[in-house]
């Protein structure tokens, strides 16, 4: 690991300003991604600004919304009784990922900002445009079994790995930030993560030194009936091969509204608006869910070894919707 | 200087910021119970408690632990009296080589405190909640039996 200076953030504004002022400074929260990638030599910041003691660790609720601090631990969010009742997809997504130890350490913002598990990104000796722009993409001609089938570009096919972000993508989540120059922003979750395009090293719309401070979940008619289904190589403690976050608002057997997002198959959290639209006004039954699943994967493009993910993801979407429709309420 | 509280004792250490909590425990405090398995947060052998919650000491920077209460496997027994989980691991023969055992036991002790009612801890739930602790010898059936024994 390269030497670095450790700075404990004393306030949100000071922490953001400290990172803003130093081109190679980064924020440290739970550390489960950052410390790992520093050991691998993927990240080599000159300064770490620790934000985990800032007053960003609370979950506040009222009738209309939940306001979740950026440094809330993933375990804390997953276990919160009101979050589980009003936004079940959030807890289900969190409990399907990581180990309990990692959920105790890692934060909600760190989860949403976590880096890809693409093995070529994690190996400093491989070509990777995300880690080192302009060096190429070793995954495109290499072992791409785990790579994305949606949202890829000639420059990057790395999967975005967060289960939580897939759930937040269907919940009209708002992200609040504090910028290094003192300003603040309110960012819709849709569009927060960027497509890789020609610059896969830029993963979000955040500027350098911009600190995520809170997430806001509005109370939606369909958020109480929401569900996360994840398929992976092992039964536990593994990233998704394909996953789906779904929500349904059903009245007298007819779908009034639906939400679908895919995880494990795309380069960012992947909303499926055409599939959602196809369900509105339809009967909530497996045939409609299968048709929606086909639409969700309609634009998927396979590489050499990951073609199975397209069919797998179709089944995950259809099964997630079918399971959810069978739930009472 | 970094002030650490480990197993109730206060320490002041001069540490490079790169030092993980695991390396501080093992190399600076001589507490070699927590093990360095993968050193990347994947195996659970380094599991310790920080403020009562189980964490991976290999991914925690020591400098970030100011004021935290850290407990390692060395702090689990009360004098000569082993913790019930330690006894159960012995009685159930829940290990072979023993390398993962301190992490398994620290994880299992924390697990019991994480549930409201121990009857929630079905075999399936115990396996899921212990999935962050790998055992290359494959002692899982007896680890499960040991945790089940303490649960009841």
pLDDT in tens, A239-248: 999 999 999 9
Residue A300 pLDDT greater than 70, yes or no: yes
3-class state of residue B48 by DSSP: strand
**Residue pLDDT, tens place only, B9-34:** 999 999 999 999 999 999 999 999 99
CB proximity B59 to A under 8 Å? yes
3-class state of residue B24 by DSSP: helix
**Domain for residue A240, yes or no?**
yes
**Residue pLDDT, tens place only, A84-121:** 999 999 999 999 999 999 999 999 999 999 999 999 99
Closest CB to B17: pick one of A6, A99, A102. Answer: A6
Q: Are A1 and A45 in contact (CB under 8 A)?
A: no
CATH number for position B63: 3.10.20.30
Residue A242 domain boundaries: 226-325
Residue B103 domain boundaries: 84-151
B111 phi, psi to nearest 5 deg: -55, -45
CB proximity B132 to A under 8 Å? yes
Phi-psi region of A312 (alpha: psi -120 to 50; beta: other; left: phi over 0): alpha
CB proximity B36 to A under 8 Å? no
Segment (H or E) for B34: none
Note whether B62 and B18 are same-domain residues: yes
Give me the number of domains chain A comprises: 1
Note whether B41 and B92 are same-domain residues: no
CA distance A138 to A152: 14
Segment (H or E) for B55: strand B53-56
- Chain B: residue nearest A237 by CA? B131
CATH number for position B99: 1.10.150.120
Nearest Cα residue to B4 out of B71, B53, B74, B66: B66
Note whether B70 and B8 are same-domain residues: yes
Question: Is the torsion defined by CA of A71, B131, A41, B37 positive or negative?
Answer: positive
A98 neighbourhood in chain B, CB within 8 Å: 132
Cβ distance B114 to A101 less than 8 Å, yes or no, reads no
CB proximity B18 to A under 8 Å? yes
CB-count burial class (<10 Å; 0-12, 13-18, 19+) for A281: exposed
**Residue pLDDT, tens place only, A248-282:** 999 999 999 999 999 999 999 999 999 999 999 99
Chain A residues touching chain B at CB-CB below 8 Å: 1, 3-6, 8, 28, 31-32, 35-36, 39-40, 48, 50, 52, 75, 98-102, 104-105, 235-237
CATH number for position A251: 3.30.390.50
Note whether B9 and B69 are same-domain residues: yes
Q: Report the 3 state secondary structure along A124-161.
A: CCCCECCCCCCCCEHHHHCCCCCCCCECCECCECCCCC
- Computed on alpha carbons and rounded to an integer, the radius of gyration of chain A in Å comes to 19
CB proximity B47 to A under 8 Å? yes
Q: Are A241 and A230 in contact (CB under 8 A)?
A: no
CA distance A48 to A60: 28
Sheet holding A211-218, edge to edge: A59-61, A65-69, A211-218, A174-178, A184-188
Cβ distance A6 to B132 less than 8 Å, yes or no, reads no
CB proximity B128 to A under 8 Å? yes
CA distance B85 to B96: 16
Residue B71 pLDDT greater than 90, yes or no: yes
CA distance A57 to B42: 25
Position A62 scores a pLDDT of: 97
Note whether B91 and B143 are same-domain residues: yes
Cβ distance A101 to B61 less than 8 Å, yes or no, reads no
More confident residue, A327 or A105: A105
B102 neighbourhood in chain A, CB within 8 Å: none
Boundary-marking domain end, from B42, B75, B108: B75
Residue A329 pLDDT greater than 80, yes or no: no
Preferred mutation among B123, B131, B134, B147 to probe A, highest tally of A CBs within 10 A: B131
Q: What is the ipTM of this complex?
A: 0.97
Closest CB to B41: pick one of A5, A8, A32. Answer: A32
Cβ distance A104 to B131 less than 8 Å, yes or no, reads no
CB proximity B63 to A under 8 Å? yes
CB proximity B144 to A under 8 Å? no
Boundary-marking domain end, from B75, B103, B125: B75
Closest-CA distance, A207 to chain B, in angstroms, reads 25
Cβ distance A105 to B55 less than 8 Å, yes or no, reads yes
The DSSP output letter for B20 is B
Long-range contacts of B57-60 (CB under 8 A, 24+ apart): B57/B20, B57/B21, B57/B22, B57/B25, B58/B20, B58/B21, B58/B22, B59/A31, B59/A32, B59/A35, B59/A36, B59/A105, B59/B20, B60/A31, B60/A35, B60/A105, B60/B20, B60/B21, B60/B22
CA distance A301 to A23: 36
**Residue pLDDT, tens place only, A134-158:** 999 999 999 999 999 999 999 999 9
Q: Are A295 and A313 in contact (CB under 8 A)?
A: no
Question: Is the torsion defined by CA of A85, A90, A91, A96 positive or negative?
Answer: positive
Closest CB to B41: pick one of A4, A6, A36. Answer: A36
Cβ distance B110 to A100 less than 8 Å, yes or no, reads yes
CA distance A40 to A126: 12
Position B117 scores a pLDDT of: 85
Residue A201 pLDDT greater than 90, yes or no: yes
Give me the number of domains chain B comprises: 2
- Chain B: residue nearest A1 by CA? B18
**Domain for residue A274, yes or no?**
yes
CA distance B143 to B126: 10
**Domain for residue A102, yes or no?**
no
B63 neighbourhood in chain A, CB within 8 Å: 6
- Chain B: residue nearest A106 by CA? B55
CB proximity B131 to A under 8 Å? yes
| pLDDT classification of B152: cutoffs 50, 70, 90 | confident
**Domain for residue A309, yes or no?**
yes
Boundary-marking domain end, from B75, B104, B121: B75
In the A/B pair of chains, how many CB contacts fall below 8 A? 72
CA distance B19 to B119: 40
Neighbour tally for A278: CB within 10 Å: 21
CB-count burial class (<10 Å; 0-12, 13-18, 19+) for A110: buried
Name the average pLDDT for chain A: 97
A294 phi, psi to nearest 5 deg: -60, -40
CA distance A217 to A174: 7
| pLDDT classification of B119: cutoffs 50, 70, 90 | confident
| pLDDT classification of A61: cutoffs 50, 70, 90 | very high
- Chain B: residue nearest A30 by CA? B60
């Amino acid at each position: 690991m390269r030497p670095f200076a450790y700075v404990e953030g004393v306030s949100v504004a000071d922490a953001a300003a400290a990172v803003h002022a130093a081109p190679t400074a980064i924020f440290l929260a739970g550390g489960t991604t950052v410390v790992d990638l520093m050991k691998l030599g993927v990240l080599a910041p000159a300064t770490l600004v620790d934000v985990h003691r800032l007053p960003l660790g609370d979950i506040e609720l009222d009738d209309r919304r939940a306001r979740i601090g950026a440094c809330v631990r993933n375990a804390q969010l997953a276990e919160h009784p009101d979050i589980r009742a009003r936004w079940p997809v959030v807890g289900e997504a969190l409990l399907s990922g990581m180990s309990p130890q990692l959920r105790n350490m890692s934060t909600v913002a760190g989860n949403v900002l976590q880096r890809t598990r693409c093995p070529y990104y994690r190996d400093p000796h491989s070509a990777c445009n995300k880690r080192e722009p302009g060096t190429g993409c070793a995954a495109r001609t290499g072992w791409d079994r785990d790579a994305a089938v949606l949202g890829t570009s000639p420059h990057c096919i790395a999967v975005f790995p967060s289960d939580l972000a897939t759930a937040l993508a269907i919940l009209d989540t708002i992200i609040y930030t504090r910028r290094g120059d003192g300003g603040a922003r309110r960012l819709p979750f849709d569009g927060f993560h960027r497509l890789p395009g020609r610059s896969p090293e830029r993963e979000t719309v955040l500027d350098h030194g911009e600190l995520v401070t809170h997430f806001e979940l509005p109370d939606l008619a369909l958020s109480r009936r929401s569900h996360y289904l994840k398929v992976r190589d092992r039964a536990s403690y593994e990233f998704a091969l394909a996953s789906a976050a779904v929500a349904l608002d059903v009245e007298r057997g007819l779908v009034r509204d639906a939400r679908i997002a895919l995880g494990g198959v795309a380069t960012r959290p992947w909303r499926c608006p055409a599939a959602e639209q196809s369900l509105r006004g339809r009967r909530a039954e497996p045939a409609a869910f299968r048709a929606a699943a086909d639409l969700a994967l309609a634009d998927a493009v396979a590489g050499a070894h990951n073609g199975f993910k397209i069919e797998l993801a179709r089944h995950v979407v259809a099964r997630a919707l079918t399971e959810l429709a069978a739930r009472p309420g | 200087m970094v002030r650490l509280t480990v197993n109730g004792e206060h320490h002041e250490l001069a540490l490079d910021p790169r030092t993980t909590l695991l390396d501080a425990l093992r190399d600076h405090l001589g507490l070699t119970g927590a093990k360095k398995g993968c050193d990347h947060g994947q195996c659970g052998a380094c599991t310790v408690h920080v403020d009562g919650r189980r964490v991976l000491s290999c991914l925690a920077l020591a400098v970030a632990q100011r004021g935290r209460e850290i407990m390692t496997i060395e702090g689990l027994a009360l004098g000569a009296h082993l913790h019930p989980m330690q006894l159960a691991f012995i009685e159930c023969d829940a290990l072979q080589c023993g390398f993962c055992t301190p992490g398994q036991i620290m994880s299992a002790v924390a697990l019991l405190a994480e549930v409201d009612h121990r009857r929630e801890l079905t075999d399936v739930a115990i396996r899921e909640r212990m999935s962050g602790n790998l055992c290359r010898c494959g002692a899982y059936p007896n680890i499960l039996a040991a945790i089940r024994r303490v649960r009841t």
